[in-house]
A and B are shown apart, each in its own frame.
Chain A
Amino acid sequence: MQQYMLLMVGAALVNNVVLVRFLGLCSFMGVTTKVDTAVGMGMATTFVLTVSSVLTWALETFLLVPTGLGYLRTVTFILVIAAVVQFTEMVVKKISPSLFQTLGIYLPLITTNCSVLGIPLLNVEHHHNFMQSMLYGFASALGFSLILAVFAGLRERIALCDVPRLFAGPPIGFITASLLALAFMGFSGISAN
């Protein structure tokens, strides 16, 4: 159990998918203008990333490795992710059409989110078993959602500030992101101890 907890803390904070691995940067900058959109996107990504991690583990273990088709890994994983996004969209629509109307906007954006492909590939690279793959995907997505929400909160505050004209918009966003990344570097001390 302790091993799983360490894996999750490492994935969410120490090796944060956005600020340390630099994955999913387009959605990080694109959907963080408002906290509610950031949280909605974060939750949808958490669901898709966790389910994708599970499915890609099964595919890797029961199909790609036994048949020696490891060279098709990236293509296969992209297909799986696209299928999971479509499946999620269908399920949300089936569970409640009202929910689909409210939340459906985020799902197509996840298909083009590179962190959703990056995490299953990292699972393969680290030779994770089923539980490790699932928890690593889940914790990475939690870290992604946390950063999205924190950064959206910061940008909402920045929007109320008197920012010099040359820095207004994306420039001040990038500067804030770099300061946030520096703050998260503090978590790397956890692994050293």
Chain B
Amino acid sequence: MTQTASYHRDPSGRTLVEGVARVVSLDSGFALLEPEVTSGCKGCVSAGLCGAMGGQGSLKARRFTIRNDHDLHVGERVVVGISEGNLMRASWVAYAIPLGFMLVTSVIVDLSWKNDAVTALAAVAGLGLGMLVARFSAGRMADKGDLMPRYIRHAAPAEACHAE
């Protein structure tokens, strides 16, 4: 989603990060979409190693659903968006929470024991605990629908992703 970033505001004034995706199937009121690989990705020096554009398998893994309120059909290209604030919160949940737990646990144990092996074990335990908390937080975000992209408009024929 975010590799195709450009900006748009929803009716409530929140900034959305946009991306172009193609409808691959329809199922009882929902549409399954596959994000398009950016032209910028194809020119990247890491293209051969990058899982984001590494064949159909990785694109399938990145498919997502949206509510089909706009009579979408298979093969249509649409512009979808996710709130910038939600994207930032998702980054915090995925990375900052586990890392924060790991760092705090390590510092506390190191100040108490001053032993590298014990501190290393505490870091692993802290990371595991942080991942559990992250899982809980991500579940709450998903339940609220914060992580689900929204339909913005149909993509124009020449409209491509805006990575660069």
Contact = CB atoms under 8 A, between A and B. Distances in A.
Interface of A: 1, 4, 26, 30, 33-34, 36-37, 39-40, 43-44, 46-47, 50-51, 54, 57-58, 61, 89, 91-96, 98-105, 107-109, 111-112, 129-131, 134-135, 138
A44 B95 contact: yes
B49 A105 contact: no
A91 B99 CA distance: 13
Interface stretch (B71-79, B83-91, B150-158): B83-91
A58 B50 CA distance: 28
Q: Decide if the interface of chain A is mainly helix, strand, loop or mixed.
A: helix
Interface residues of B, number: 52
Contact of A138 (B91, B93, B103): B103
Interface string B59-76: 001111000000000000
A26 B3 CA distance: 16
B51 A54 contact: no
Contacts of B1: 101-102, 105
A1 B110 CA distance: 10
B115 to A, nearest CB: 9
8 contacts: A39-B88, A43-B96, A51-B102, A102-B87, A104-B61, A108-B52, A109-B52, A130-B106
B160 interface: no
A108 B17 contact: no
Contacts of B84: 36
A140 to B, nearest CB: 14
A99 B90 contact: yes
A109 B46 CA distance: 7
Contacts of B2: 36-37, 40, 102-103, 105
Given A43-B92, A131-B119, A89 B51 contact: yes
A91 B96 CA distance: 14
B17 A99 contact: no
B94 A95 contact: yes
